[in-house]
Structure 1
């Protein structure tokens, strides 16, 4: 009888050490980010281009100026600040050319990143690179007309694959563009 209990205890210990469970693969705890003052938390819609997921997580519009430690730059219209989160699910590094990311307003017009606002806010520089298995969140700044309503972020990303089977098959993928809804 003791041998049966000892064997059961040994099996339970092995199962615990090897991580056997019915709950699926382990995941990291994801501490929430505090929404910044006046910023609207977005519902976390996600698009995928290649091996990278893009999620809009925050939006602040009608900003009259951007202030940094070294400058204060008023908007020509109003600034819109979009916080996005990128997750690289591939094995290789992927780049994002920030100059190819456009803000789309409800009237269908597109706006390029405000270089001045990005510099003053000390935003990321282009090309922006994300490593394998990395998650990064950052802000993109746009100068849009007063009264314009934000609809989406038009993302042009790297659609290439780091899967060996794709590489051996000679699959070529260049940039791809998708709209990430930001208007709820």
Structure 2
């Protein structure tokens, strides 16, 4: 997982690994989300990065849950193997890899649980992340805490039937509010929906 602050603070320098190259590509797509086609001095300008072979870059696939925006920025389907530094694994069907970008626009930390996320196929069935693929790819593990005004992006791997067509990513997020009044009442952000489906096609 790669993290960077969108509030101007320094972020830790990532190691030069496959995961950092992945994070660089994610940040490139983040630029499209954060700055669009404008040239406002109020937005960061992040240099574009190449998309991985076989991956489809996506744009305009954004939803909000409370104070966090979730954007699907890349999709790859029909992967027949996941390869890591110490091994590889074959899926029962096909691997689907979804790149997700999150931006916390609130004043408080918000949690994201990768294991709760679901990919929805055309027949309406849902599938959780593949533990094998997430481990072998050195993906994120356990609940992630997204700091205030932080940008965070990583891959989610799913094992779905070989002939299944993916329709959406069902995102389960954190609808909690940064407003003190809401926190005292343990109330979510007004009107927050959780989960939300982000189209993949």
Instruction: Say yes or no: TM over 0.5.
Output: yes
Cα displacement (A) at 1:97: 1.3
Aligned residue number for residue 89 of structure 2: 73
TM value normalised by structure 1: 0.81
Aligned residue number for residue 199 of structure 2: 181
- Give per-residue Cα distances to partners, 1:110-150, cap 9 Å, x unaligned: 00100000000001111022111111110000000011111
CA distance in 2, matches of 1:167, 1:155: 23
Are 1:96 and 2:112 an aligned pair? yes
Aligned residue number for residue 27 of structure 1: 43
Aligned residue number for residue 59 of structure 1: 75
Matched residue SS, 1:76:
coil
CA distance in 2, matches of 1:150, 1:136: 24
- Answer whether contact 2:121 2:166 (CA < 8 A) is retained: yes
Coordinate RMSD, CA, aligned:
1.9
Aligned residue number for residue 130 of structure 1: 146
After superposition, the Cα gap between the structure-2 partners of 1:121 and 1:38, relative to the gap in structure 1 and judged at 3 Å, is same
Aligned pair count? 160
Structure number having the greater strand percentage? 1
Which has more radius of gyration?
Answer: 1
Aligned residue number for residue 12 of structure 1: none
Cα displacement (A) at 1:36: 1.0
Cα displacement (A) at 1:167: 3.1
CA distance in 2, matches of 1:55, 1:73: 28
Are 1:154 and 2:170 an aligned pair? yes
Matched residue SS, 2:72:
strand
Superposed, which structure 2 residues align to 1:161-176 within 5 Å? 161-167=177-183, 170-173=185-188, 176=194
CA distance in 1, matches of 2:43, 2:59: 21
CA distance in 2, matches of 1:176, 1:39: 28
The counterpart of 2:130, out of the listed 114, 120, 123, is 114
Cα displacement (A) at 1:52: 0.5
